[in-house]
Structure 1
Amino acid sequence: MAADGAGAPDGEVKGGVRAALGGLTTRGRSFLAAGVAAAICAYVLGQGDLLRVGLLLATLPLVCVAVLYRTRYRVASSRRLSPRRVAAGSESRVHLRMDNVSRLPTGLLMLQDHVPYVLGARPRFVLDRMEAGGRREVSYRVRSDLRGRYPLGPLQLRLTDPFGMCELTRSFSAYDTLTVIPRTEVLPPVRLAGEASGYGEGRQRSLALAGDDDVIPRTYRYGDDLRRVHWRSTARYGELMVRREEQPQRARCTVLLDTRAVAFHGAGPDSAFEWAVSGAASAMVHMLERGFSVRLLTDTGTSVPGEGDGGFAGTSQDSADSAGLMMDTLAVVDHSEGAGLSRAYDALRGGEGLLVAFLGDLDEEQAALAARMRQRSGTAVAFLLDSGAWLTGGSVPGAVEERLRQLREAGWTALAVPPGASLADLWRQAGEDRTVFGASAAGTTEHSGSWG
């Protein structure tokens, strides 16, 4: 990865000469005090030699201050993160490189990088004398159990003179950002009954050619097979036209994440909301790898912009790029102020294919609204979290069982998520339960296929 974050210390030192004098070390202050005292004693006693010694002692730290103060832009820095995007609980290494761009060697250099407290303590390094045109490299590790975007920098550089009389702190202007994305689990492939037609094995194919009278031609391109030339359209348009080939069309999957603040209680990496975010990330990555075009939808009705039709990513984008864009969104997603799922319901226009929902606490009204979402999808799978059970570590209460029953009667494959549950196990259980609850959806479809 190319080095970035290059910069140089700020040209101006706040406070001017006063700030430079404030950078005197204990040794420098001692020399200055001794020189002033010797000069005063020499004046009182009339000793010329003592006066010269006092002036020398007092002048040395002042000269060091002047030289160090006028030494600007002597050192350039660069920062490199490896990797720049890391899962929660994993480490990233930060590489710092210092280059002496002046013609003179440096003194002792002390480096300190600004790091948010959630990533660990601020790293400090001491670099020995750096020759003219020299280079030094150091590195440190950062780690966070909480997802988010964290700024690294600016880097602070403490300059010292060869005699250790003065220290000045200069700040570099450049900084970088570390993105901590949610943890993901590897999900097993499962097969469901009752899936909408055309979504078997995660793909469908549509013929552009349905007969001579129903053909959709296009302009001839270099390399096209001449056997596909459509002469009737060629005569009509006055240019060479060919029949379209059979084109693959990806199945769609919508991952719905409930972010309502009223639906989740508690905070921290082990909270119900963080499990839901991690579950949505795992399902999203899994479906992209299975060849689906995926849309990430929240209760606010907004989705991550994609190049595909209707905001679905993975159709015209590379799957890794699509996953990275959605992961960056999940890294900073937070609770919404909304109280209902109506906006998400409006965003489901029908024909969504597979719908995978991660839902928090639902009252009777929101449970009924979620149940109606089943009518706008092919297959619907819901993972229902009770934040109260996650806070106390207890079992699923009767109210959650009632919501599960309501969703299942509407055709959902609905599962309760106990505290600390593994999504991979629930994912496999959803595939098994679908054969049980498939009868409730049999009234709308008679096809079967795989959903992940």
Structure 2
Amino acid sequence: MTLPHLAGTGEGAGEGDRGPLRAAFGGLTTRGRSFLAAGGAAAVCAYVLGQPDLLRVGVLLAALPLLCVLVLHGTRSRVTAARSLTPARVAAGGETRVHLRVDNVARIPSGLLLLQDRVPYVLGPRPRFMLDRIEPGGRREVTYRIRSEQRGRYPLGPLQLRLADPFGMVELNRSFTTFDVMTVLPRIEPLPPVRLGGDANGHGEGRQRALAVAGDDDIIPRDYRRGDDLRRVHWRSTAHRGSLMVRREEKPLKARCTVLLDTRRGGYVSSGPDSAFERAVSGAASAVFHLVAQGYEVRLVTDTGLLVPGPESQAGDTAELTALIMETLAVIGHSAGTSLADAKAALRAADCGLLLGFLGSVGAAEAPVLEALRQRATGAVGFVAAGQLPPEVEGERLRNVALAGWTALPLLPGVPLGQPWQQAALELAARGTGAR
């Protein structure tokens, strides 16, 4: 199962972070400070005792850490770094490979380098790498892998770089300013290859209707536009109108589906990675991914009235629209609402096609809203969160959904979504609203 992904972005060098030379002396290690102290003491003793040879030793001891400070200070801002993610968007449980590249653009070799990349705690400990000195114009590359079982958007970086000289006199730190973002999509469950309906014209005869699979000619021709195929010129109309006219070509209509996700905090008992809410989000993502693969035109709507893609969105590439829905599901959270009325308002002027709802607690007050939504759909299936409350309470939830004209099925923990999905296809077919 392959998900669309985006290429990772690089990380700039931030060459404007060269600090004053005084700050570079703060990187002196204990050894470097000891050498300075020993050199100063030797110089004082040489002056008191009148020993010029001792003065030379003192100058040598003090010059070595000072020289290391100057060299590292000059090379710190001439070490650049870049990061790339492959892929930058991955399903929960999948791995992303992070590729780090360090370049030495200075004319002198660098010292010992220690790399540390900042990652959120949910992705594990911070990766660290030790690199040997890099020759002038040289490059070093390292790679590490990260994975997350929780959906979300996680920043990676900024990258921290520590430079050290071969003598251990100085250690200078540098932090880059930019970072990349890793998007972890909800977990996607495989679903059986059955159709639930959602015909193209929205009247529910139980099959997808393509009005023009190869392009049917419309009775009324239109004016010629630049780029039109000359083989479609309608010569009779051209002679009658005195200008070029071409035969219209209908685009095939896709089956439509609207996925309703209930995000109300009060609709779910628990929270966390294994909660019923996360299962509902995962179910919505699985349905979107599965239906798009079957050729459906899919939209997502939530109880808050969020509609993705929105009514103002232009028809675009299917992969782009799917990615937009999946990224929305990756970061969606609980809402403070108590009703599904906003979802009804968002779909007021829209034909829902097939309607799939991943619902939490549904009381009797929500039945009229669900019934109104059902009237705009060719078929409606409600997957209701279950398995966390007494059976009589959950039974009441299912009855409220069923009384609204929906096919109500429990979404139980530990039970693959494919089982209720298969049951939904059977019940829709029995009602005469499913696919044959």
> 1:400 and 1:342 mapped to 2: Cα distance?
22
Q: For 2:363, give the aligned amino acid.
A: D
> 1:26 and 1:232 mapped to 2: Cα distance?
92
Query: 2:100 aligned to 60, 71, 96, which one?
Result: 96
Deviation track 1:410-434 (CA, whole Å, cap 9, x = no partner) reads: 3211101122221111111212233
Structure 2 CA distance for partners of 1:333 and 1:102, relative to 1, 3 Å: same
Q: How does 1:120-139 map to 2 (within 5 A)?
A: 120-139=124-143
Deviation track 1:258-294 (CA, whole Å, cap 9, x = no partner) reads: 1111112322221111111111011011111111111
Structure 2 partner of 1:262:
266
Which SS does the other structure have where 1:79 is aligned?
strand
Q: For 1:323, give the aligned amino acid.
A: T
1:205 aligns with 2:211: yes
Indicate the RMSD between aligned Cα atoms, in angstroms.
Answer: 2.7
Which SS does the other structure have where 1:204 is aligned?
coil
Between 30-39 and 340-349, report the one with greater CA deviation.
30-39
The TM-score, its normalising length taken from structure 2, stands at: 0.88
> 1:233 and 1:348 mapped to 2: Cα distance?
43
Q: For 1:148, give the aligned amino acid.
A: G
Structure 2 partner of 1:429:
423
Q: How does 1:296-307 map to 2 (within 5 A)?
A: 296-305=300-309
Structure 2 partner of 1:327:
326
> 1:324 and 1:150 mapped to 2: Cα distance?
17
1:416 aligns with 2:410: yes
Structure 1 partner of 2:191:
187
> 2:185 and 2:7 mapped to 1: Cα distance?
22
Contact 2:367 2:404 in 1 (8 A): no
Structure 1 partner of 2:57:
53
Structure 2 partner of 1:406:
400
Contact 1:264 1:273 in 2 (8 A): yes
1:83 aligns with 2:82: no
> 2:205 and 2:327 mapped to 1: Cα distance?
28
Deviation track 1:280-318 (CA, whole Å, cap 9, x = no partner) reads: 011011111111111111111121236xxx4688xx433
Structure 1 partner of 2:3:
none
Structure 2 partner of 1:449:
435
1:383 aligns with 2:383: yes
Contact 2:8 2:88 in 1 (8 A): no
Q: For 1:269, give the aligned amino acid.
A: P
Contact 2:152 2:331 in 1 (8 A): yes
Contact 2:185 2:327 in 1 (8 A): yes
Deviation track 1:64-86 (CA, whole Å, cap 9, x = no partner) reads: 21332233432221111111111
Query: 1:11 aligned to 16, 27, 32, which one?
Result: 16
Deviation track 1:329-382 (CA, whole Å, cap 9, x = no partner) reads: 111111112111101012223532100000111222123422332112110010
> 1:403 and 1:111 mapped to 2: Cα distance?
54
Which SS does the other structure have where 1:89 is aligned?
coil
Percent of aligned pairs sharing the same letter: 56
Contact 1:39 1:55 in 2 (8 A): yes
> 1:194 and 1:239 mapped to 2: Cα distance?
41
Structure 2 partner of 1:24:
28
Contact 1:230 1:243 in 2 (8 A): no
Q: For 1:397, give the aligned amino acid.
A: P
Q: Which runs of 5+ in 2 are unaligned?
A: 1-5
> 1:4 and 1:29 mapped to 2: Cα distance?
41
> 2:316 and 2:395 mapped to 1: Cα distance?
40
Structure 2 partner of 1:367:
367
The TM-score, its normalising length taken from structure 1, stands at: 0.85
Contact 2:104 2:139 in 1 (8 A): yes
Contact 1:202 1:291 in 2 (8 A): no
> 2:24 and 2:295 mapped to 1: Cα distance?
62
Deviation track 1:112-167 (CA, whole Å, cap 9, x = no partner) reads: 11111111111111111211111111011111111111111111111222322101
Contact 1:254 1:352 in 2 (8 A): yes
Query: 2:249 aligned to 242, 245, 250, which one?
Result: 245
Q: For 1:282, give the aligned amino acid.
A: S
Q: Which runs of 5+ in 1 are unaligned?
A: 439-445
